[in-house]
Amino acid sequence: MELEFRHRRLRVAYENEREAIRLWGLGAGKRYGDLLETIEEAKEWTVLYTVRAMRLHPLHGNRAGQFAIALTGRWRLILSVRDNVVIVEEVTRHYDD
Q: How far is the C-alpha of 66 from the C-alpha of 24, rounded, in Å?
A: 21
pLDDT band at 78 (very low <50, low <70, confident <90, very high): very high
Higher pLDDT, 55 or 77: 77
Whole-model pTM? 0.90
How much is the pLDDT for 19? 97
Instruction: List phi, psi (to 5°) of 10.
Output: -70, -35
Nearest CA to 19 among 35, 33, 3? 33
Instruction: List phi, psi (to 5°) of 65.
Output: 95, -5
Q: How far is the C-alpha of 27 from the C-alpha of 70, rounded, in Å?
A: 11
The domains of the chain, with CATH numbers, are: 2-92 (3.30.2310.20)
Q: How far is the C-alpha of 23 from the C-alpha of 60, rounded, in Å?
A: 26
Percent of the chain with pLDDT over 70: 97
Nearest CA to 53 among 65, 70, 78, 67? 70
Whether 86 shows a pLDDT value over 90: the answer reads yes
